[in-house]
Chains A and B, each alone.
Chain A
């Protein structure tokens, strides 16, 4: 463990967690509003400007940040102040930590920590995301917020089960839980021409995974823990930057889901038929990193489109979908994958 290694790791943490994830998350707060406007034939945010430069409304995240920082930081009477302050951080940190094991390019240089237990690490850290929502609602001494956090906890625990089980098929096919090795495995070709991407060999798992992870992320059509327009949610008593942290964590989680789906189902940094082992170097490596970023942006776009397509479920429907449909389907998917693998 020498100094160069430490410095390189720090640089990677700053580049991946803060530059890539945070900035993409901040842009997504603009993207969500702009996309919702564009799909509804409206113009959307276009007013905030710095010295007259509006850049299609891209100055809005900056304006929102300034507004969130300068607003009153309100703590309700009777709230548990320590947990109340802790909850937004607990919501924000896990999605950023998950990026530690996501390979952005070929080889160990493009991943912060090339763990062999990559996916398990993601689930371990991702499971901590529940604490932010639960403690946030519980500590703010408000019945509505408490009910919202109960909904959040129940929903996230239910969907985490099938979210994990969906990926077992991928593990069985590629024989590893290390994200870097899964990406390498996806460089193989089926019948000599079809890239063996996760979505090709496990299409059902991909749909189930996206459903479960969008429910995990508490976004429409599964946004019952928040339900800002009528049933109120766990972040009811939060204001200023603490509320913004909850919101930003949601958008960073979109990036996390997109990065996970890109890695597990869309071949990570693989460009089809080009350098599947990732040993070429030079411009091909640059292209592979760009391919990964492009896949992540595309999957973020897909999630936003889903969010603006579907109306919200009723809560019993959410629970029924999680336990009665997604869980049996993911178990069936595992069995089917096992049978097919055994026959081959």
Chain B
């Protein structure tokens, strides 16, 4: 059962149009003079010169976190690339000297042209290795190649993570 909306016929003042034109012009002129006299000031941000901080939860450029010895925390488990709805993470796993983990990525590449910055990789990662909290906005590039971020690029934005890898076992 739909709801019947009461739509009254517009009265003579509205149908004759001119009084409403006058009201509209009054409203517009009010804004004009208020802004001319700088009553409120503008909310516009003069972007390239003046920037505001992004919110702490802002998902910007990806980064790969470091271990205490500076190597990559990623263990090449492929959970992020599996979770990725845009299919933008490509990982090649390889051997590592670290005896605590089985694998480490030889190649870790993110295609920013495919990435939708949803943060599912962040959520899927069991090692707190990939994060999107760099706080940097993704800048456009001129070639497709420049839109691919490799392991070194991602690590250069990374930092130490305080989370314990592998839990408290042992």
- By a beta-carbon cutoff of 8 Å, the part of chain A in contact with chain B is 35, 38-43, 207, 305-306, 308-310
Contacts and interface: CB of A to CB of B under 8 A. Distances in A.
Contacts of B40: 41
B18 A207 contact: yes
13 contacts: A35-B32, A38-B31, A39-B29, A39-B31, A39-B32, A40-B31, A305-B32, A306-B21, A308-B28, A309-B21, A309-B27, A310-B21, A310-B24
Q: Which 7 residue pairs of A and B lie closest in terms of their CB atoms, listed nearest first?
A: A309-B24, A39-B31, A38-B35, A309-B28, A43-B44, A39-B28, A39-B32
B25 interface: yes
B35 A39 contact: yes
B161 to A, nearest CB: 43
A310 B25 CA distance: 9
Name which of A39, A207, A306 has the most chain B CB atoms within 10 A of its CB. A39
B36 A305 contact: no
Given A207-B18, A309-B21, A310-B21, A42 B44 contact: yes
Given A207-B18, A309-B21, A310-B21, A41 B42 contact: yes
Contacts of A38: 31-32, 35-36
B43 interface: yes
Nearest to A302: B25
Interface of B: 18, 21, 24-25, 27-29, 31-32, 35-36, 40, 42-44
A38 B44 CA distance: 12
A41 B24 contact: no
A267 to B, nearest CB: 22
Given A38-B31, A305-B25, A309-B24, 8 more contacts: A35-B32, A39-B35, A42-B42, A43-B44, A207-B18, A308-B28, A309-B27, A309-B28
Nearest to A307: B28
Given A41-B43, A42-B42, A43-B42, A309 B32 contact: no
A308 B28 CA distance: 8
Contacts of A43: 42, 44
B4 to A, nearest CB: 28
B25 A309 contact: yes
Contacts of A207: 18
B34 to A, nearest CB: 9
Contacts of A305: 25, 28-29, 32
B33 to A, nearest CB: 9
A35 B35 CA distance: 10
Contacts of B28: 39, 305, 308-309
Nearest to A42: B44
A329 to B, nearest CB: 11
A56 to B, nearest CB: 11
Nearest to B42: A43
A207 B18 CA distance: 9
A309 B44 CA distance: 22
A39 B32 CA distance: 5
A177 B18 CA distance: 29
A39 B27 CA distance: 9
A42 B35 CA distance: 9
Contacts of A308: 28
A42 B28 CA distance: 13
Nearest to B24: A309
A306 B29 CA distance: 10
A305 B36 CA distance: 14
A341 to B, nearest CB: 25
A38 B25 CA distance: 14
Contacts of A41: 31, 35, 40, 42-43
A28 B24 CA distance: 22
**Among B27, B32, B40, residue most surrounded by chain A Cβ atoms (within 10 Å):** B32
Contacts of A310: 21, 24
Contacts of B43: 41
A35 B167 CA distance: 63
Contacts of A306: 21, 25
Contacts of B36: 38
Nearest to B33: A38
A309 B24 CA distance: 6
A40 B36 CA distance: 12
A43 B32 CA distance: 11
A41 B28 CA distance: 10
Contacts of A40: 31
Instruction: Among B27, B28, B35, B44, find the residue whose CB has the most chain A CB atoms closer than 10 A.
Output: B28
A12 B43 CA distance: 46
A154 B166 CA distance: 79
